[in-house]
């Protein structure tokens, strides 16, 4: 006779798998609060599993399972659940298919592992138990053991490997991963379809080897994709940084040249004044007035690197009619930060700010730059208006920053800023709220002395 309690025990163990399906996604990628998603999933599966258990018992024939009804009912329940799960995610469809397929593969692995354990535990009674009903107590316990042994590993993979890999995957790479997953899943199902688990130890060991091989293959595949992707991103970032650094170096050289020429201008003015040639002095000052204006504009802090970066980007802001409020105060005229790091840090923040400001109407454009020391820390605060997101949601952190430089890229420049802040024993915070984007960076100015 079919025992609903054993069926219920077996199917309730789909709940841990369902909860794992949210692990690869950040809170910002969920349309509902994560806790609410978990509660809704558990509630739906509880009701569905009870209904399936009662239905299987009701349609059993002579104590034997009605496989067709069971499988059809289970498929309907899973389709409904997967549809609801997919509707809670703010990610491309290919990513949903990727995670959903992996969870189905994991469920198939658990089923195979539980049968391996049951074959060893039941011995000659294995066939009778598995054919008599779908939920002997031993099979349920074996599935529970399989879940306990693998769930933490799968959670770690989804939370720490897949969550980092998915956002940096381009659509082409994600589709390639989906094809790879489907091939592995089909091969696994073919290899484990109705095997003779009672043939020990060959069949159980083969199934166990397939499970372990599949799990290792998943880990290596997505870890390699993430590594290659990060290397490509780093190469592109480095090329951009080098271009920016060359441009700023040229500005710095021009500034040094102009300051050097200042001595010659003063000598000329001194000679004209000694000769009483006042009219020529007036013409000379008028001719070179723009030179002095540029020198005055370029002095923000006394630090040549900071001044050059600010002059370069704030000049662009001026040409585009963007109002700028700039307050820079550096004690001793230096920031204590490596020239390359400071160039990348300020350059990325200001470039992102200008990109966000350009689409806005003239009256809505505002940019504020503040750089000042506080104790041993150098504080940088850059605020720019940016309008509202299409979905109306605000966010914090470079991971959520929607880069304008390429589809699917998230906070590439800000990730570099965060890495520099960490290098100098500081921190970087990014927030978009009420139509404003704020970057707050703190750096330890004594880092280069080994005190950071």
Report the range out of 182-191, 266-275, 390-399 with the highest average pLDDT.
182-191
pLDDT band at residue 266 using 50, 70 and 90 as cut-offs: confident
Categorize the per-residue pLDDT at 392 as very low, low, confident or very high, splitting at 50, 70 and 90: very low
Q: Is residue 255 part of a domain?
A: no
Question: For the chain, how far is it from start to end, CA to CA, in angstroms?
Answer: 72
pLDDT score of 209: 80
Confidence of residue 332 (pLDDT cuts 50, 70, 90): low
Q: Are residues 197 and 339 in the same domain?
A: no
Is the confidence at residue 404, as pLDDT, over 50?
A: no
Last residue of a domain, one of 210, 235, 260: 235
Residue 278 falls inside a structural domain: no
177 and 305 in one domain? no
pLDDT over 90 at 383, yes or no: yes
- Residue 289 domain-assigned? no
Q: Which tens digit of pLDDT belongs to each residue from 159-203?
A: 887 887 777 677 777 788 788 888 888 888 887 776 666 666 677
HEC readout, the chain:
CCCHHHHHHHHHCCHHHHHHCCCCCCHHHECCCHHHHHHHHHHHHHHHHHHHHHHHHHCCECCECCHHHHHHHHHHHHHHHHHHHHHCECCCHHHHHHHHHHHHHHHHHHHHHHHHHHHHHHHHHHHHHHHHCCCCHHHHHHHHHHHHHHHHHHHHHHHHHHHHHHHHCCHHHHHHHHHHHHHHHHHHHHHCCCCCCCCCCHHHHHHHHHHHHHHHHHHHHHHHHHHHHHHHHHHHHHHHHHHHHHHHHHHHHHHHHHHHHHHHHHHHHHHHHHCCCHHHHHHHHHHCHHHHHHHHHHCCCCCHHHHHHHHHHHHHHHHCCCCEEEEECCHHHCCCCCHHHHHHHHHHHHHHHHHHHCCCCHHHCCEEEEEEEECCEEEEEEEEECCCCCCCCCEECHHHCECCCCCCCECHHHHHHHHHHHHCCCEEEEEEECCEEEEEEEEECCHHHCCC
Which of 92-101, 111-120, 155-164, 255-264 is predicted with the least confidence, judged by mean pLDDT? 255-264
Which of these ranges, 144-148, 175-179, 232-236, 304-308, has the smallest mean pLDDT?
Answer: 232-236
Same domain, 311 and 182: no
pLDDT confidence tier of residue 133, bands split at 50, 70 and 90: very low
pTM of the model: 0.53
Note whether 311 and 231 are same-domain residues: no
Q: Looking at residues 302-315, what average pLDDT do you find?
A: 81
Higher pLDDT, 21 or 219: 21
Q: Are residues 224 and 327 in the same domain?
A: no
Provide the token pair at 394.
């605000």
> Could you tell me the pLDDT band of residue 119, with boundaries at 50, 70 and 90?
confident
Same domain membership, residue 154 and residue 75: yes
Between 352 and 219, where is the model more confident? 352
Sign of the dihedral defined by the CA atoms of residues 33, 34, 39, 40, in that order: positive
Same domain, 199 and 74: yes
Q: Are residues 54 and 184 in the same domain?
A: yes
Q: Which of 200, 235, 270 is the last residue of a domain?
A: 235
Rounded mean pLDDT of 416-427? 86
Residue 273 domain-assigned (yes or no): no
- Same domain flag for 91 and 167: yes
Which tens digit of pLDDT belongs to each residue from 55-113? Answer: 777 777 665 666 677 778 878 888 899 899 999 998 888 889 988 888 888 888 888 88
The pair of three-digit structure tokens given for residue 1, joined into one six-digit string: 């006779």
For the ranges 118-127, 258-267, 305-314, 415-424, the lowest mean pLDDT is seen at 258-267
Same-domain check for residues 355 and 228: no
pLDDT of residue 248: 64
CATH number of the domain that residue 374 is part of: 3.30.565.10
Q: Identify the band that residue 369 occupies on the pLDDT scale cut at 50, 70 and 90.
A: very high
Q: Is the pLDDT of residue 436 over 80?
A: yes
Let me know if residue 260 belongs to a domain.
Answer: no
119 shares its domain with 230: yes
Q: What is the pLDDT averaged over residues 103-128?
A: 80
pLDDT band at 368 (very low <50, low <70, confident <90, very high): very high
Residue 256 domain flag:
no
Note the pLDDT tens digit of each residue in 195-238. 666 666 677 777 778 878 877 877 777 777 667 666 766 776 66
Average pLDDT, the chain: 77
| Phi, psi for 191 (deg, rounded to 5) | -70, -25
Do the domain assignments include residue 104? yes
Q: Indicate if 316 and 446 belong to the same structural domain.
A: yes
Give the chain's domain count: 2
Q: Which is nearest to 441 in space by CA: 371, 394, 386, 376?
A: 371
Between residues 95 and 333, the one the model is more confident about: 95
> Is residue 70 assigned to a domain?
yes
Domain of 330, in residue numbers: 301-452
Among residues 202, 219, 235, which one ends one of the domains? 235
């Amino acid at each position: 006779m079919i025992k609903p309690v054993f069926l219920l025990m077996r199917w309730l163990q789909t709940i841990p798998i369902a909860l794992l399906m949210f692990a690869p996604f950040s809170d910002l990628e969920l349309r509902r609060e994560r806790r609410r998603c978990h509660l809704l999933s558990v509630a739906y599966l509880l009701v569905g599993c009870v209904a399936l258990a009662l239905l299987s018992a009701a349609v059993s024939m002579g104590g034997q399972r009605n496989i067709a009804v069971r499988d059809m009912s289970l498929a309907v329940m899973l389709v409904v659940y997967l549809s609801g799960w997919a509707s809670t995610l703010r990610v491309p469809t290919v990513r949903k298919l990727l995670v959903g397929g992996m969870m189905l593969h994991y469920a198939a692995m658990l089923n195979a592992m539980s049968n391996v354990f049951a074959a060893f535990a039941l011995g000659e009674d294995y066939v009778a138990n598995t054919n008599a009903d779908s939920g002997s107590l031993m099979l349920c316990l074996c599935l529970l053991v399989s879940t306990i042994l693998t769930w933490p590993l799968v959670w770690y993979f989804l939370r720490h490997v897949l969550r980092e890999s998915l956002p940096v995957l381009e659509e082409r790479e994600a589709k390639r991963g989906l094809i790879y997953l489907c091939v592995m899943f089909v091969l696994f199902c073919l290899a484990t379809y109705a095997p003779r688990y009672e043939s020990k130890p060959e069949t159980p060991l083969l199934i166990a080897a397939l499970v372990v091989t599949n799990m290792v293959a998943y880990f290596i595949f997505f870890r390699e994709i993430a590594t290659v992707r990060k290397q490509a991103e780093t190469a592109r970032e480095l090329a951009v940084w080098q271009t920016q650094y060359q441009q700023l170096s040229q500005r710095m050289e021009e500034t040094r040249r102009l300051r050097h020429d200042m001595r010659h201008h003063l000598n000329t003015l001194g000679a004209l004044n000694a000769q009483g040639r006042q009219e020529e002095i007036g013409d000379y000052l008028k001719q070179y007035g723009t030179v002095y204006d540029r020198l005055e504009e370029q002095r923000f802090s006394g630090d040549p690197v900071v001044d050059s970066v600010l002059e370069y980007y704030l000049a662009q802001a001026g040409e585009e009619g963007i109002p700028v409020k700039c307050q820079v105060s550096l004690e001793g005229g230096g920031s204590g930060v490596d020239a390359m790091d400071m160039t990348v840090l300020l350059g990325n923040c200001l470039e992102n700010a200008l990109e966000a400001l350009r689409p806005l109407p003239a009256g809505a454009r505002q940019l504020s730059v503040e750089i000042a020391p506080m104790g041993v820390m150098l504080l940088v605060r850059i605020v720019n208006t940016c309008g509202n997101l299409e979905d109306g949601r605000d966010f914090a952190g470079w991971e959520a920053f929607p880069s304008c430089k390429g589809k699917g890229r998230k906070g590439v420049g800000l990730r570099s800023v965060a890495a520099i802040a960490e290098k100098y024993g500081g921190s970087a915070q990014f927030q978009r709220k009420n139509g404003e984007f704020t970057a707050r960076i703190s750096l330890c100015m004594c880092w280069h002395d080994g005190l950071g």
